[in-house]
Each structure stands twice: as C-alpha cells, then as structure tokens.
Amino acid sequence: MRVLFGEGIVKEVENVEVKPLDFGDGQISGTEIDFALVGGDHIKYIYSQNVPIEESGSRAIEFVRKLYEDGKADFTHEPVEML
C-alpha cells in the first residue's frame, strides 16, 4: 500500500494501526495512527488536540479503510502531528 505523506513523499506501508492515545493514566486523550513501513521503519502520528476524540477516531478509521480498499491514500490533509 502506498501513502502520500507530503509533497513528493510517498512511502510503501505494510501495516497501519489506529489506537487510542493514552499517556499511561488510563484516560484517553486522543487518537494515534501508527504506520509500519516496508523495510521495518515506523512512523507515528497523533491527531491535533483541536479535533474532538470522536472525530479523530472516525477520520483515522476512514483513512485506513480507504487505504486498504484502494491500496493508496493521501495523508497530507489529516490534522496530525508526528510523535
């Protein structure tokens, strides 16, 4: 699967996981999306705190669904920050 991460940055992804963001206190504070790249590297993002948790979770799941169905997806418009 291919993901466009930025202008001219396309990476081959073998696995994507959407997880609740928990800083260890058991309280969910956001949505995390982890990419496992072909070759073993990992890239992790969190959705902006300006995006409500319910919306960020839905956006992340929809992104992964589209990536799986189409084999490619554009991540450049997601309101995220790299971890």
The pLDDT value recorded for residue 23 is 74
| Distance separating the N- and C-terminal Cα atoms of the chain | 22
d(CA 14, CA 60): 16
CA–chain centroid gap for 59, Å, is 9
β 72-74/2-6 pair status: parallel
Global pTM reads: 0.90
Q: What is the pLDDT of residue 28?
A: 85
Predicted confidence at residue 24, as pLDDT, reads 76
State both tokens at 24.
């260890």
8 alpha carbon, distance to own chain's centre: 18
pLDDT in tens, the chain (83 residues): 999 999 999 999 999 999 998 777 778 889 999 999 999 999 999 999 899 999 999 999 999 999 999 999 999 999 999 98
H or E element in which residue 76 lies: none
